[in-house]
Structure 1
Amino acid sequence: MIRSSCLSVAVAMALACSLPAHAATSAGGDTALPIDLDAVVVVAAAPVSALTFETDPRLPRQPVPASDGADYLKTIPGFTAIRNGGTNGDPVLRGMFGSRLNLLSNDGAMPGACPSRMDNPMSYVSPETYDSLVVIKGPQTVLWGPGASAGTVRFSRDREQFDEPTMKLAGSLLGGSFGRNDQVLDATFGAAPGYARISANRSDSDDYRDGDGNDVASAWNKWNADLALGWTPDADTVVEASAGTGDGEARYAGRGMDGSQFKRESYGLRLEKRNLDGLLDGIETNVFYNRADHVMDNYSLRKTNPNGAMPMPMASNVERTTTGGRFAASWRSDHVEVTAGVDGQDSRHRRRSAHGRGAYRSQPWTTDARFRTVGAFAEANWHIADHKRLIAGARADRAQATDERATLGKMGAPNPTAGRTRHETLTAGFIRFEQDLGDVPLNWYAGIGHTERMPDYWELFSPNMGPTGTPNAFAGVDTEKTTQLDIGLQYRTKRVDAWVSAYAGRIDDYLLFRYHAGGMMGPMSQVTNVDAKIHGAELGVEYRPTRQWKLGGTLAQAWGANRDAGTPLPQMPPLEARLSLAWDNSRWSAGALVRAVAAQDRIAPAQGSVVGQDLGPSAGFATFAVNGGYRFNEKAQLTVGVDNVFDRTYAEHLNLAGNADFGYPADPVRIHEPGRTAWVKLNLTY
């Protein structure tokens, strides 16, 4: 049903109907828009280059447009998310999770503070307030920081230059089932000296109901606001200062606490200079400050369960402040392009908690962890011949982590590594060959990459135990090393786009979580190093038999194994296929999407990550969705959709067990996804 969202729907319809429907008219009398607006996105377009996907996160999307960055990433084949309710799922690429993915917003890191990643980096991203999403799969770039064995994700905003006074407005209104109610506004004023841009959004939803009509704790309310001021003294120079803030709350069916605060503070400063004289083509530098102030409690958004694991009201307040920067210069000659530079960041984590409603506010902060990295990188693109390229890169980082905890665990045992600092030197590099096959519209690539990853906060400080014989995870676990081969090809014609990418890798000292029964203290987590191997593939095809019709499909498969034990690697998503059909005559559009997910029985029970563990085999499922749209003119587009048309009851394989506070049984039960969901969205530009 549609509740508080009715207002958004009504406003959307009123605004749309009041807009003049100006359009050019052809000789035959048919109307056609002066520009070709994109239709609803159901599967991502073909990669723009080897292993690189790029899309506009402001486009209408099905399923219902995303409330967080992880949800939008699922549009790209190979991505899934660990589900725990309605919003803030944790992104997974090819079965890899956490800091194996380098997650950036405006080229800054926002790692989040929750020891269980309730506020993972993508929970602070509102996709529609960004202009582009770029994903590079695998260890096939060194430009954006250390680690990133699974891939790099960048949500970015454009920086425009204006020759004359110009006002640009864009926004959207969304209303849908279960009280879904979103508003987005993006306003820019620019002139020859510079520009000012404000981006803001609000997203709200009630608890959803699954296909059986059962309520699932999943409500959220969140907002963000960002301001950018730019100075453009000439056509090749941009200096920009930015500031942003946001907050929110979210209920989680799969957690013992809810998120009652997701406060964000962000500041940035950037300089870009292009088209310099000589071989030096340009320079860019940026610095950032990001602070996450997150509160978890068991009383603000749920009733405290006197028979549960936390029978009294309690709250935990965690904060992480991350500062950093990057400097890069690029050189260009007739056949070679080189980008080189340095980057680094410093991150402090602290916490406080207390029993009683709001009592945590009177408690002092305690710092438990500090991280620092400094690195240098270089990446080159050599055009060997007209249709052949060699791309290679290397980087080295000096990383350190300091254990500031005086005690360990709920019993307050002395910490044997208190005050100790770990220092690690991390290396990474890759080389990739690409070729366009001349007369045939086909190109292919093959590359091999290696990267070494420092254990992150959740691997060093969240587990109860480290490997057997070590005092804790901080002292016991080693860095993770990934070596991976990536190959693929892409075929493009006027009517057909087809692509396939495959990978195979070895991961030495893979960081694996194991969960053990802990009695009254709850499950105990242990992190150890194992050797692993992975492989998989994604493919996609889009066929356009006529100008108005489009058929598409994607397929993604990931596989992993623990080489030491000869068992499956946990938290591997099952085989997934998407099939789409779309019709668009530049005024009206319609489409359908079938998503089919296979059963998954390759599991490692009680093993996984800091967020989730394998709960057992999962059943396969298929869902069907439809959408339609109408473009009033080049400034307004109305889209409607229905997800899960047949109201199926199903659950994703990567899932948290339902929490007893919401009536779930003690035996692990996956959280079901939303039942039939209807939505309507109006996009406006001026």
Structure 2
Amino acid sequence: MSNSRNAAKVSSRLSLAIAQALVLALAAPSALAETGPDGGLQIDPVNLDAVIVTALAPVSPLQFEASPKIPRQPVPASDGADYLKTIPGFSAVRNGGTNGDPVLRGMFGSRLNLMTNDGAMPGACPSRMDNPMSYVSPETYDNLVVIKGPQTVLWGPGASAGTVRFERDREYFEEPTVKLAGSLLGGSFGRNDQVIDATYGDRLGYLRFSGNRSDSDDYKDGDGNRVGSAWEKWNTDLAAGWTPDEDTLLEVSAGFGDGESRYATRGMDGSRFKRENFGLRFEKHDLGEYLHHFEATAYHNLADHVMDNYSLREPNPDSSMPMPMASNVERRTAGGRAALEWSASQWELTAGMDYQDSRHRNRSAMGRGAFRSTPWTTDARFENLGVFAEGTWFQGDYTRLIAGARVDRASATDERHVLSGGGHGHGGGHAMPNPTAGMERKETLTAGFVRYERDAADAPLTWYAGLGHTERMPDYWELFSPDMFDGGRGPIDAANAFAGVDTEKTTQLDVGLQYRGASFDAWVSAYAGRINDYIQFHYMHGGMSAVGNVDADIRGAELGIEYRPDDQWKLGGTLAYARGEIRDANRPMPQMTPLEARLTAAWENGSWSAGVLLRAVDGQDRVAPGYGNVVGQDLDASPGFATLALNGGYRFNEKLQLTAGVDNVFDRTYSEHLNLAGNADFGYPADPVRINEPGRTAWVKLNYNW
């Protein structure tokens, strides 16, 4: 990817993508459609859940599910965080074009348990340039499952904000079967994506291949100003499953990917996002009268990430990094999980254990490519062993009691021999001996929840109330990225963040109501939590960062409605609000998302579809400048904005669908509240300024599913 791309190249690529889509559409086999009385092709109406996803509703209390393969608006997502924003309560710390960092209800980082195929891929950058969702291509997965709040213990420790799982299906085939899915996407600013997903299966097993490529040039904001945001990325994943019978599965899998991305908000770009994933899974069903399922998984994941200031830009002689330099970080994470499921007429129970081991290392050097000859230095090791149990007790036909508990033994080891202040984890400051070199921290973490659910006997209505508690080990970014430790409640009382930052404890009440009628659905969920020893970053002049513990209160709500006046129309809306205070300082919590509303209207007659999305975001004046997380900080108050998006589509048959859309129809100039400041290398001023979002963006996408 070069620093500049001419308009002819952009136009050519967009035209090619659109031409590919139209050719594939027009060349669709006529056998896929029925012949009408006049001998022409007749398209039977197809009633599917959604043509284009604009907002999701819960499928059960606090749980959201979706197929990431369905087209989405705004422009279909290039990473996991982007797709999550279709769920009310989610937002992202914006970097530019891709690889934003997901935020749920104002909570960030390892407060969200982010998983792919039941494995962890934490990323390696000390400032989360390669956060876990940057390695996810949503459309290559079959299912997205989100559970909000500390309301499950099945998928790892922490997860005070929620649990996110991108999953792929595994099937038993009675006869030889070929399945093929794919898509082509072309859009403004040179956006060009291709996806393929192919499976062959029979009674003995299956082979599956999925891959994608996605790239885009820098986008322009509503004022026509270019924002450094170009990216290019690719992924391939393979899986082979052995199914000697319909109750047994043994699967091996492997995945590889890489990419690069420009960041108008950072002093370096990401010139490598290399991933390697290896997995093993065993499943056995119908083991006895009560024991119904056993599952065991193992994984080995590697993130190899390079940041530099010369591959996708030229070094700025007036910046703090005037010469070419690069930093290479790598994180290997291995682990596994085993679980048993029992059930009877009145109860269900899942119990098991999980394990994770992670090692982080780095190297850096001045000069183009010089880092490759620099030896690696390991700076951190992590280990976690947990046991869990979660069950449901059915009390008659309308009442359920769900509860779970887990205990984890977590450890972190500081392998750094020296500390470099002033670099926010990248070095560059004055080196000094590390007082905690070789020190190991061990913590015992507890978590549990109980939730009561009740269905109305005479109406399609469910209400619930759940109380959850979880304790979270400080993660790599909180222990190793800060330049110093700040006690938060008073004077500094530890050698550094590794020794000083305490575990974070969250206790939260979640309540809600769901109504599903023949023509009207509605839902509301509200929460209130108390966080003891909340881990907070403080940024000071000169770029120094400190981390410490404070106590905080959080609360908020999300709601949604959908009205279907007839078989062809759907009208809907969602609203999300989050609020938090630091009790110790009597001030707002930083990095809290503002009030956001989405209004939608969609029409579909089986073949044609059209829709509109109005997104309105309130201004945020509850800010704490200088405070935040490892990625971002509150800059100042932000104004509100509203954007309009339009979409339309045509379904040629059950297998082929063409969709198109225009985002930010009126070419508004606006920025998100959760945003990094623009970097001087891209012409932004020294005073922090948010980067603007894309201006008017058009896209067209062809989906094929056979």
TM-score (norm 2): 0.95
Runs (4+) of structure 1 moved beyond 6 Å?
A: 25-30
8 A Cα contact 2:56 2:86, kept in partner:
no
Return the alpha-carbon distance in structure 1 between the equivalents of residues 65 and 683 of structure 2. Answer: 42
> Is 1:490 equivalent to 2:510 in the alignment?
no
1:18 is aligned to 27
1:230 is aligned to 241
Listed as ranges, the matches of 1:510-525 within 5 Å are: 510-518=534-542, 523-525=543-545
8 A Cα contact 2:43 2:652, kept in partner:
no
What is the letter of the counterpart of residue 536 of structure 1?
G
SS in 1 for 2:485: coil
Return the alpha-carbon distance in structure 2 between the equivalents of residues 281 and 18 of structure 1. Answer: 47
Return the alpha-carbon distance in structure 2 between the equivalents of residues 453 and 631 of structure 1. Answer: 47
Return the alpha-carbon distance in structure 2 between the equivalents of residues 397 and 34 of structure 1. Answer: 52
Return the alpha-carbon distance in structure 1 between the equivalents of residues 394 and 72 of structure 2. Answer: 37
1:619 is aligned to 639
* RMSD, aligned α-carbons: 1.3
SS in 1 for 2:322: coil
Instruction: Spell out, residue by residue over 1:127-147, the C-alpha distance to the aligned partner (whole angstroms, 9 max, x if none).
Output: 000000000000000000000
> Is 1:94 equivalent to 2:105 in the alignment?
yes
2:435 is aligned to 416
Return the match for 1:268 from 268, 274, 279.
279
What is the letter of the counterpart of residue 89 of structure 1?
G
> Is 1:654 equivalent to 2:678 in the alignment?
no
Displacement, 1:36?
2.6
Displacement, 1:531?
0.2
Structure 1 window deviating more from structure 2 (406-415 vs 426-435): it is 406-415
8 A Cα contact 2:150 2:161, kept in partner:
yes
1:316 is aligned to 327
Instruction: Spell out, residue by residue over 1:460-519, the C-alpha distance to the aligned partner (whole angstroms, 9 max, x if none).
Output: 00000012132110001100000000000000011111000000000000000001112x
2:610 is aligned to 590
Return the alpha-carbon distance in structure 2 between the equivalents of residues 44 and 83 of structure 1. Answer: 20
SS in 1 for 2:511: strand
Return the alpha-carbon distance in structure 2 between the equivalents of residues 565 and 361 of structure 1. Answer: 46
Return the alpha-carbon distance in structure 2 between the equivalents of residues 149 and 422 of structure 1. Answer: 21
8 A Cα contact 1:43 1:553, kept in partner:
no
Return the alpha-carbon distance in structure 2 between the equivalents of residues 599 and 231 of structure 1. Answer: 54
Displacement, 1:32?
5.0
1:434 is aligned to 453
Identity of aligned residues (%): 71
Structure 1 window deviating more from structure 2 (661-670 vs 22-31): it is 22-31
SS in 2 for 1:446: strand
Displacement, 1:441?
1.2
SS in 1 for 2:110: helix
In structure 1, the gaps of 5 or more residues are none
> Is 1:328 equivalent to 2:352 in the alignment?
no
Return the match for 1:251 from 245, 262, 270.
262
What is the letter of the counterpart of residue 326 of structure 1?
R
Return the alpha-carbon distance in structure 2 between the equivalents of residues 648 and 303 of structure 1. Answer: 30
SS in 1 for 2:189: helix
Instruction: Spell out, residue by residue over 1:552-604, the C-alpha distance to the aligned partner (whole angstroms, 9 max, x if none).
Output: 10000000000000000000010000000000000000000000000000000
8 A Cα contact 2:57 2:87, kept in partner:
no
Displacement, 1:38?
4.0
Return the alpha-carbon distance in structure 2 between the equivalents of residues 620 and 470 of structure 1. Answer: 41
2:480 is aligned to 461
Distance change >3 Å, CA 501–CA 27, structure 1 → 2: farther
2:222 is aligned to 211
Return the alpha-carbon distance in structure 2 between the equivalents of residues 517 and 569 of structure 1. Answer: 20
1:8 is aligned to 17
2:69 is aligned to 58
Return the match for 1:527 from 532, 544, 547.
547
SS in 2 for 1:633: coil
Displacement, 1:45?
3.3
What is the letter of the counterpart of residue 14 of structure 1?
V
Instruction: Spell out, residue by residue over 1:311-352, the C-alpha distance to the aligned partner (whole angstroms, 9 max, x if none).
Output: 000000000000000000001111000000000100000000
Displacement, 1:23?
3.9
Return the alpha-carbon distance in structure 1 between the equivalents of residues 484 and 52 of structure 2. Answer: 44
What is the letter of the counterpart of residue 373 of structure 2?
S
Return the match for 1:337 from 331, 343, 348.
348
1:365 is aligned to 376
8 A Cα contact 1:20 1:633, kept in partner:
no
Return the match for 1:106 from 99, 117, 120.
117
Displacement, 1:449?
0.1
Return the match for 1:295 from 302, 306, 319.
306
Return the alpha-carbon distance in structure 2 between the equivalents of residues 43 and 442 of structure 1. Answer: 24
Return the alpha-carbon distance in structure 1 between the equivalents of residues 45 and 623 of structure 2. Answer: 53
Return the match for 2:597 from 545, 562, 577.
577
Instruction: Spell out, residue by residue over 1:164-203, the C-alpha distance to the aligned partner (whole angstroms, 9 max, x if none).
Output: 1111110000000000000000000001100000000000
SS in 2 for 1:11: helix
> Is 1:685 equivalent to 2:696 in the alignment?
no
1:554 is aligned to 574
8 A Cα contact 1:244 1:267, kept in partner:
yes
What is the letter of the counterpart of residue 637 of structure 2?
P
Instruction: Spell out, residue by residue over 1:517-558, the C-alpha distance to the aligned partner (whole angstroms, 9 max, x if none).
Output: 12xxxx110001000000000000010000000001000000
Return the alpha-carbon distance in structure 1 between the equivalents of residues 528 and 262 of structure 2. Answer: 38
1:380 is aligned to 391
What is the letter of the counterpart of residue 147 of structure 1?
G
Distance change >3 Å, CA 500–CA 30, structure 1 → 2: farther
2:663 is aligned to 643
Displacement, 1:25?
7.8
SS in 2 for 1:230: strand
8 A Cα contact 1:71 1:89, kept in partner:
yes
8 A Cα contact 2:590 2:634, kept in partner:
yes
Instruction: Spell out, residue by residue over 1:345-381, the C-alpha distance to the aligned partner (whole angstroms, 9 max, x if none).
Output: 0000000000000000000000000000000000000
Return the match for 1:165 from 173, 176, 181.
176
Return the match for 1:445 from 464, 471, 479.
464
What is the letter of the counterpart of residue 658 of structure 1?
G
Return the alpha-carbon distance in structure 2 between the equivalents of residues 494 and 335 of structure 1. Answer: 29
> Is 1:190 equivalent to 2:190 in the alignment?
no
8 A Cα contact 1:487 1:502, kept in partner:
yes
Structure 1 window deviating more from structure 2 (262-271 vs 14-23): it is 14-23
Return the alpha-carbon distance in structure 2 between the equivalents of residues 399 and 668 of structure 1. Answer: 38
SS in 2 for 1:128: helix
Structure 1 window deviating more from structure 2 (60-69 vs 5-14): it is 5-14
Displacement, 1:205?
0.1
What is the letter of the counterpart of residue 652 of structure 2?
F
SS in 2 for 1:37: coil
Listed as ranges, the matches of 1:12-91 within 5 Å are: 12-20=21-29, 22-23=32-33, 33=44, 35-91=46-102
8 A Cα contact 1:38 1:59, kept in partner:
no
What is the letter of the counterpart of residue 223 of structure 2?
D
2:489 is aligned to none
1:123 is aligned to 134
Return the alpha-carbon distance in structure 2 between the equivalents of residues 241 and 319 of structure 1. Answer: 24
Displacement, 1:40?
3.5
Aligned pairs, how many?
682
8 A Cα contact 1:46 1:497, kept in partner:
no
> Is 1:348 equivalent to 2:372 in the alignment?
no
Return the match for 1:156 from 160, 164, 167.
167
In structure 2, the gaps of 5 or more residues are 1-6, 421-428, 487-491
Displacement, 1:34?
6.5
Displacement, 1:42?
3.8
What is the letter of the counterpart of residue 210 of structure 2?
S
Structure 1 window deviating more from structure 2 (1-10 vs 533-542): it is 1-10
